[in-house]
Amino acid sequence: MTRPRTGMTTPSTATPATAPVPVTILTGFLGSGKTTVLNHVLQAPDMADTAVIINEFGEIPIDHLLVEQAIENTVVLQNGCICCTVRGDLVDTLLDLVRRSKQGLLPPFSRVAIETTGLADPTPIIQTLANDRMIAPLFTLHRVVATLDAVNGLSTLEDYPEAVQQLTAADCVLITKSDLTDANGDTAIRTALQRINPTAHNHLVIQGAITTDLIFGSPDAHSHQPHGDINRWLGDAAVHSGHGHHHDHGHDHAHNDPNRHNAHVRAFCMRTAQPIPAKALERWLNSLLSLRSKDLLRIKGIVHVAGRPGPVIIQAVQHLLHPPTSLANWPDDDHDTRIVFITRDIAPAAIEASLDLLRQAPS
């Protein structure tokens, strides 16, 4: 895969003949209900022009069909959706879908859903969509949706780091099997989710029944890119947690820290009113990811860059730093830099110290 771009340079102005196809990644741990959700969504009449990619082997029931084929044996489902299973490289699969559709061998499609295997970290898929030179002009990441089992989710999150990684990458979390637990169980799973990823919006789902908007709808607060309310995109609970600085003195207070998932994973927000020089921001982000990328599970923020009329949007998922994007104007009267971190084994005080150096950097 190509190396991520981490500079503040302006992307190429070259554009494809048509707008990039939006891609939704559907992730979640084994047995959390991904396929059930996908089955339900694909039954909607307006989902007929959807391409579905399953990136695992095995028999996967999609609309009562057992999909065992690789891309060369793509299945066109009864409702018009295209379905295939990745056997090799995702780039080849996506490009082959485009080629075959242009040749009339497959029906045209206007959106793509990628369902990951239950043990997969979705970050490599995000990286491919963001940075592969052949894919980026044709496809764009629209949303990362994760399923979380309300019955077994708490134990899964404690025992399997893959499940935590899936949640930290998500913009929207679907809490499944809530009909099999009680109100206390619902509260416990929502509290755990809030601790792991306070920026994700969550919805209770029973037997996969959701509206198509949650996965494929118009860009909004559930999207991987901000549209409209920046605070909703960042996560109101994280941004308005009552403080912009956190200090950790090395003791384990996981049992009474509402922002900490366990002794390792925690979420916190850094805020500063002082404008940040663009070059200093670039160096800071590169340094953070160079030193601790595996433990920076998610970074999501709006930054007041010195000399710019509007803010700069930054976000990273582990080692992948998306190219920063600029907004023409601030969406509201709050012009503070607000950056939400989800980290593993990184004391907030360490990032706070690095942010202090960033505030002091010359323009």
**Regions of the chain where pLDDT drops below 70:** 1-17, 56-73, 87-88, 208, 218-263, 359-363
The model's pLDDT over 160-195, given as tens digits with 9 standing for 90+, comes to 888 998 998 898 999 998 888 888 888 899 988 888
For residues 218 and 207, give the distance between their C-alpha atoms in angstroms, rounded to a whole number.
24
What is the number of other CB atoms lying within 10 angstroms of the CB of residue 265?
A: 24
Q: Would you say the pTM of this structure is higher than 0.85?
A: no
CA 337 from centroid of its chain's CA atoms: 21
With helix as H, strand as E and coil as C, how does 56-74 read?
A: CCCCEEECCEEECCCHHHC
Q: CATH number of the domain at 21-216, out of 3.40.50.300, 3.30.565.10, 3.40.50.150, 3.40.50.1100?
A: 3.40.50.300
pLDDT of residue 226: 59
- CATH class for the region spanning 238-359: alpha beta
Query: What residue type is 111 in one-letter code?
Result: R
In angstroms, what CA-CA distances link 271 with 8, 50, 325, 362? 21, 40, 19, 19
C-alpha angle 344-285-348 in degrees, rounded to nearest 5 = 35
Cα 53 from Cα 61, distance rounded (Å)? 13
Domain with CATH 3.30.1220.10 in the chain: 238-359
Asked if 312 and 10 count as a contact pair (C-beta separation under 8 A), the reply is: no
CATH 3.40.50.300 placement within the chain? 21-216
Give tens-digit pLDDT for 113-150.
999 888 888 888 888 888 889 998 999 999 899 999 98
Asked if 216 contacts 109 with a C-beta cutoff of 8 angstroms, the reply is: no
Are residues 340 and 313 in contact, defined by beta-carbon separation less than 8 angstroms?
A: no
| Residue 96, SS3 per DSSP | helix
For residue 269, the model assigns a pLDDT of 85
For residue 298, what are the contacts with CB-CB under 8 A and spacing of at least 6?
Answer: 168, 169, 197, 199, 315, 316, 317, 318, 340, 341, 342
Residue 121's pLDDT is 85
The DSSP code sequence of 152-179 is THHHHHHH-HHHHHHHHT-SEEEEE-GG
Residues in the chain: 363
Give, rounded to a whole angstrom, the gap between the first and last alpha carbons of the chain: 34
Q: Which two tokens stand for residue 52?
A: 């579905």
Structure-token pair, residue 105:
């061998």
SS3 283: helix
What SS3 class is residue 303? strand
| Residues in CB range of 333: below 8 A, 6 or more apart | none
